[in-house]
A and B are shown apart, each in its own frame.
Chain A
C-alpha cells in the first residue's frame, strides 16, 4: 500500500471573480507517474503552482510530501524538484558548474555533489561536454541534463512542466527512460505534456477543463470509458466543449 505523497481536497484558486482552479481533489501515490493534462488556460499552471508551494490557495486543503501547502511551503520546496521548458539551466555556465550550483542550492555536501555529478555525467554520456557551456548543447541533451539536475537531491516529488517540447522522438524516449528510472527509485513524477502518447506512459492521468478536473483514471480505463482508441481522442472528447480559451 503506497502512501499518498500528494493529497488535495477541494483546492481552489480565485483571482477576483475568476476561479482559475476549482475544487481540485485527487491523490498521487509514491513512485507514481502522474500525468496532468489540460488545454492552455484550463488551470494546469495555477494548480501546479499551488502544489509547488509557490502560490497560496484561496480555499481547500493539500499536503505535499506530508507538508501543509499553507503553512509549510519552505519544507515543500525542499522536498520537491522542478523543471520546466522555459527555464532549465544557466546557458552561460558549463555542465559541471550547473550541476555544482544546483547541488549546492539543494543543500548537498561537496562530497555528495562530486559523487552525483560523476554519476550523472556518466549516465548521460556527457563526459566530453562536461566543461562546455550549456548553450552549446543540443536541445535534447539540455532537457535530459535539466531533469537530472532537478532530481539531484533525490526529492520525493518532481514536477515537470512540458519537459519534452520540441524535442526529437528518440530523445523524448530517452528522456522518459530517465523518468522511469527515477520512478523506480521511488521518486513521484508529476508531469504535464501536450504529447498524447506520453500520456500513455503515465500510471494515471487527470484532464483539466475550465478549471475543473473532468477525468482522472488510468489511460486504459479512460479509453474504455470514452470509447476511444487513443488518448488523443479522449482528450478531444473532453476538451472540445471547453469555454475557456477564447
Chain B
C-alpha cells in the first residue's frame, strides 16, 4: 500500500486564486519525497490538505490508507507535522517542549527516544534553554524531534530548511537520510533546487501545477538537449551576447557559468568560440556540462 496517494487534487482560495491545480502523485512507504518549488507554488496548501488541516475543493488524498476528509481523526493520530514556521513554544525549554508533544500524542519521550537520539544529542547541552533563544538550526532540530517523538507513520515537513544557513541545511538532510532507516515515510517541501538530489522521488511544482514527478535521476536524464557551460569574463555582457546569438536556444546564468543549449545538436563549438571572440569576449571557456534539477525546472517552466 502506498504511504500517500494524491489524485487530481484541487484547492482554491476565493474565486481567482487556484492554489493547487489538478495535482496527482504517490509516495511509497519509507521514501523521502520532495515537493520542490518556489513560494506560492502550492506546496503548503498541498501539505495542509494531506495533514487534514484544509478540505480539498476537488480530487482526493489518502494518507496511510485513510482518506483525508472522512478519516481525518485517524490521520491526525499517526502523522508527524512540522509547519513552516518553527512553531514551538518559545517560552518553554527544549525538554519541556519535547515532553509536551510526547504527552499530546499519548506517549513518552523514553518510548521512542531511539528515533531522535542522534538529533537530540546535539540539543542536549541546551535542554533547559528556552526554545525562543535557540538559533535557527537548533530550533529546526528541536522541531524535528517533536514531530518524531510519537513514531509517526508519515512525516510531513513543510519547508524545514527555509531561512536556515547552508551548513545547518546540510546537517538537516543528513538527519533525514538516517530516518529512512527507521522506515518512516518523509514528505518534505523546499524551494532549494539542490536539495532535490537528496530525495528518492521529487515533484517539481510551480503555480499550483506539477511540472514533473519522478526520481531526480530520471528527470535529469530526460532533459532533451545537451547542455553547455560557457564562461567569459563579464557574465552580464556574455548573457546579452548569447541572447542575441541565433544559434542559441536557451541561455541563462548559472553560478560562474552561463548554461546554454543550442538549436543544432551537432553544433560546432569552435564556431561558437570564434563568434564570442568577435563580440569582444575573452578568456572563453566552453564545455559540456551535466544537467541539474534547476536546469530541468527552468526548462519545464
Direct contact of A and B (CB under 8 A): yes
Q: Which of A116-173 contact B (CB under 8 A)?
A: 138-140, 165-171, 173
B288 on the A face (CB < 8 A): no
The interface bits of chain B over 226-258 (1 if a CB of A lies within 8 angstroms of the residue's CB, else 0) are: 000000000110010000000000001111100
Shortest C-beta distance, B221 to chain A (Å), equals: 19
Contacts of A167 in B (CB 8 A): 38-39
Contacts of A197 in B (CB 8 A): 254-255
**Are A245 and B256 in contact, with the CB atoms below 8 A?**
no
From the candidates A166, A169, A239, name the one contacting B167 in the complex (CB within 8 A): A239
Name the residue on B nearest A184 (C-beta).
B236
**Are B255 and A139 in contact, with the CB atoms below 8 A?**
no
Name the residue on B nearest A199 (C-beta).
B255
From the candidates B134, B165, B206, name the one contacting A168 in the complex (CB within 8 A): B206
**Are A180 and B236 in contact, with the CB atoms below 8 A?**
yes
Dominant SS among interface residues on chain A: helix
**Are A246 and B126 in contact, with the CB atoms below 8 A?**
yes
A143 and B170 alpha carbons, distance in the complex (Å): 27
Most buried by A among B138, B166, B194, B254: B166
Contacts of B298 in A (CB 8 A): 169-170
A226 on the B face (CB < 8 A): no
Q: How many residues of chain B are within 8 Å of chain A by beta carbon?
A: 36
Contacts of B40 in A (CB 8 A): 138-139
**Are A239 and B165 in contact, with the CB atoms below 8 A?**
yes
Shortest C-beta distance, B264 to chain A (Å), equals: 24
Chain A residues touching B, range: 35 or more
**Are A242 and B167 in contact, with the CB atoms below 8 A?**
yes
Dominant SS among interface residues on chain B: mixed
A240 on the B face (CB < 8 A): yes
A231 on the B face (CB < 8 A): yes
**Are B301 and A168 in contact, with the CB atoms below 8 A?**
yes
From the candidates A140, A183, A196, A201, name the one contacting B166 in the complex (CB within 8 A): A196
Q: Which of A204-246 contact B (CB under 8 A)?
A: 219-220, 230-232, 235-236, 239-240, 242, 244-246
B132 on the A face (CB < 8 A): no
**Are B236 and A231 in contact, with the CB atoms below 8 A?**
no
**Are A40 and B135 in contact, with the CB atoms below 8 A?**
yes
Contacts of A166 in B (CB 8 A): 38-39, 162, 191
Which B residues are closer than 8 A to A by beta carbons?
37-41, 126, 134-138, 162-168, 170, 191, 193-194, 206-207, 235-236, 239, 252-256, 294, 297-298, 301
With A165-B162, A170-B298, A232-B194 known, 17 other A-B pairs at CB within 8 A are A40-B136, A41-B135, A138-B40, A139-B40, A165-B163, A166-B39, A168-B206, A169-B294, A170-B301, A180-B235, A180-B236, A180-B239, A230-B255, A236-B166, A239-B167, A242-B167, A246-B134
- Please name the 9 residue pairs, one residue from A and one from B, whose CB atoms are nearest each other, closest first: A166-B39, A168-B38, A39-B165, A180-B236, A200-B255, A197-B255, A200-B256, A245-B135, A239-B167
